Amino acid sequence: MTRTEPAGTALGDDFHLYDTTLRDGAQREGISYSVADKLAVARLLDELGVGFIEGGWPGALPKDTEFFARVAAGELQLKHAALVAFGSTRRAGVAAEEDQQVRALLDSRAPVVTLVAKSDRRHIERALRADVDEACAMVADTVTFLVSEGRRVFLDAEHFFDGYAFDPDTSLRVLDAGATAGADVLVLCDTNGGQLPLGIADTVREVRDRTGFRLGIHCQDDTSCAVANTVAAVQAGVTHVQCTANGYGERAGNADLFAVTGNLVTKLGMEVLPTGGAAELTRVSHALAEIANIAPYSHQAYVGASAFAHKAGLHASAIKVDPLLYNHIDPSSVGNDMRVLVTEMAGRASLELKGRELGVDLAGRPEALTSAVHKVKRLEAEGWSFEAADASLELLLRREVGGEQAEALAVPPFLLESYRVVLDHRADGVVSSEATVKVHVAGQRVIATAEGNGPVHALDAALRQALSPHLSWLDSVELADYKVRILPGHPGTDAVTRVLVETSDGEREWTTVGVHGNIVEASWLALCDALVHKSMRVDSPACV
């Protein structure tokens, strides 16, 4: 039987960065990878430079079987990583070589196999309904057989920490059965995720001292400590860490590959990725979120869009002088950027810094800066918020600065004359929304009417209908997200509505804001800013 040769890692075998996004990560509620998705995930992980990619459980899940077959057929060429098949030890009472599930592991042609084995006596007795001798024999036989077939074998000792606390001898016997039969790494798994770092470190040290085996770690995040537990285990001597992209996994998830890697590289000074790999962490994290169809978590450590975002206020001037005083690392070392948020605490320094980030030069224009600060403060007091609406802020700053920085704004892509929206809840229970807009675009007055599932949707549809014959770029522009917040009025005033609109043209995304007592008008203001912002970036936006 042939098999794919291990690619090995670019960094040798001393330390294993092992990814199980495609198997344990796929346990997350809502994730359902196609085989094409799995190939794309593996390609990205390999580009990043992880050492091992666990591709799935061949024989147990048809999609996983197909994934391994397509890799073996040459659809995926790994540069750095070795591919791993995950599976279980033989069933009780069956020879390993006759167990179909074990054979499927061989048939996958993956050079490495990770076997899961129960190592908590309670699970052996109650879930497996076997005794400890038989459980150890299942481990020993299966490892022996796979090693004899030329596979490298790792052993995932399931529920290890709970089991070791309950009955350490049983747990150590399971490890010993695996190691004696030829398993290379004994992976201690916190399957229920209930551990804390100091306890993990103590247990790892104790097991290492008692056995001398090469140890690995696999943590779930049920105490919100999976990353910390993984790093603590490394500090206590494990040389193999199992993670998933963005911490995807069952329940609270697994140890996040990006945070673990960020910590190992920037805090412990370990070279666990090939040169240039760390600077790819942010990009790969976001790309893997896209494939999983899960919005990237903006507050994720190291790689989140907000991971280095400061509400500047008091510290803005100090940040300007010395950003590293306020960041734990240089954001670019993990491929991320520092952002300064404009808030009601905004001062001159933070607005100038923000302008620089948005390409608007305020440094040499103290009057424009003063007037922009006043305008932002006044608008934020009225309920506007620019911290998430860079595109609206850029328009505001350009208008304040004037001159060539506002040139593109002199000719807006269209002008509104009026709109009307009619909402009906009819006597038969049907609810409908219809909008009519009257606009001036490309020298013409255009009237258009459209329906939508709500007032804003209808207005957006009518506006598009009016403009799209005249603005060639409009078709690529889509509303990507829409957020509404009702702001209670100050004493004596009415509540106002704040709308944030995120717009995409397939390449770029930008966010605009609108505030008004009327939610439809607030939405309209944000929609208009979104289109004006886009038109600044196209050659012939149109002429009114």
Q: Of residues 117-176, which lie at the interface with its own copies (CB under 8 A)? A: 122-123, 126-127, 159
Residue 302 φ/ψ region, left for φ over 0, alpha for ψ in the -120 to 50 degree band, beta for the rest = left
Q: How far is the CB of 219 from its own copies (least distance, A)?
A: 11
User: Is residue 256 a contact residue for its own copies (CB under 8 A)?
Assistant: yes
27-46 residues in contact with its own copies (CB under 8 A) are 27-30, 32, 34, 36
6-25 residues in contact with its own copies (CB under 8 A) are none
User: Is residue 405 a contact residue for its own copies (CB under 8 A)?
Assistant: no
User: Is residue 274 a contact residue for its own copies (CB under 8 A)?
Assistant: no
Contact segment (CB under 8 A) with its own copies among 104-112, 181-189, 220-228, 370-378 equals 220-228
Q: How far is the CB of 405 from its own copies (least distance, A)?
A: 26
Q: Per-residue x/- mask for its own copies, residues 182 to 201, rule CB under 8 A?
A: ----------xxx-xxx--x
**Binds its own copies (CB under 8 A): choice among 169, 361, 478, 481:** 481
C-alpha–C-alpha distance, residues 210 and 204, integer Å? 10
**Binds its own copies (CB under 8 A): choice among 74, 403, 410, 426:** 426
291-350 residues in contact with its own copies (CB under 8 A) are 293, 297-302, 304, 306-311, 315, 318, 321-322, 325-329, 341, 344-345
Q: How far is the CB of 161 from its own copies (least distance, A)?
A: 10
C-alpha–C-alpha distance, residues 104 and 346, integer Å? 61
User: Is residue 242 a contact residue for its own copies (CB under 8 A)?
Assistant: no
User: Is residue 433 a contact residue for its own copies (CB under 8 A)?
Assistant: yes
The 3-state DSSP class for residue 445 equals strand
Strand partners, 440: 415, 445
User: What is the helix (H) or strand (E) element at residue 163, kind and residue range?
Assistant: helix 160-166
Find all residues with CB under 8 Å of 479, minimum gap 6, and list them.
Answer: 460, 501, 502, 503, 527, 530
User: Is residue 263 a contact residue for its own copies (CB under 8 A)?
Assistant: yes
User: Is residue 370 a contact residue for its own copies (CB under 8 A)?
Assistant: no
C-alpha–C-alpha distance, residues 280 and 282, integer Å? 6
Please tell me what DSSP assigns to residue 230.
H
C-alpha–C-alpha distance, residues 217 and 230, integer Å? 6
Q: Which is nearer to its own copies, 32 or 472 (CB)?
A: 32
User: Is residue 87 a contact residue for its own copies (CB under 8 A)?
Assistant: no
Q: Which is nearer to its own copies, 179 or 236 (CB)?
A: 236
User: Is residue 543 a contact residue for its own copies (CB under 8 A)?
Assistant: no
User: Is residue 449 a contact residue for its own copies (CB under 8 A)?
Assistant: no
The length of the chain, given as a count of residues: 544
Two structure tokens written together for 91: 């069933």
Q: Which is nearer to its own copies, 179 or 519 (CB)?
A: 519
Two structure tokens written together for 535: 């038109």
Q: Which is nearer to its own copies, 75 or 222 (CB)?
A: 222
Contact segment (CB under 8 A) with its own copies among 107-115, 130-138, 148-156, 454-462 equals 454-462
Edge to edge, the sheet with strand 478-487 lists 478-487, 496-504, 509-516
Is residue 280 a contact partner of residue 302, using CB atoms and an 8 Å limit? no
Would strands 496-504 and 509-516 be described as parallel, antiparallel, or unpaired? Answer: antiparallel
**Binds its own copies (CB under 8 A): choice among 270, 521, 538, 544:** 521
User: Is residue 374 a contact residue for its own copies (CB under 8 A)?
Assistant: no
User: Is residue 95 a contact residue for its own copies (CB under 8 A)?
Assistant: no
Least Cα distance to 308 among 264, 338, 276, 263 occurs for 338
Q: How far is the CB of 149 from its own copies (least distance, A)?
A: 24
Q: Roughly how many angstroms between the first and final C-alpha of the chain, as a whole number?
A: 72
Two structure tokens written together for 250: 């069952």
Site of tokens 């009327």:
518
Residues binding its own copies: number (CB under 8 A): 108
Two structure tokens written together for 79: 């540069």
Other CB atoms within 10 A of residue 416 CB: 14
Two structure tokens written together for 111: 């050079």
User: Is residue 100 a contact residue for its own copies (CB under 8 A)?
Assistant: no
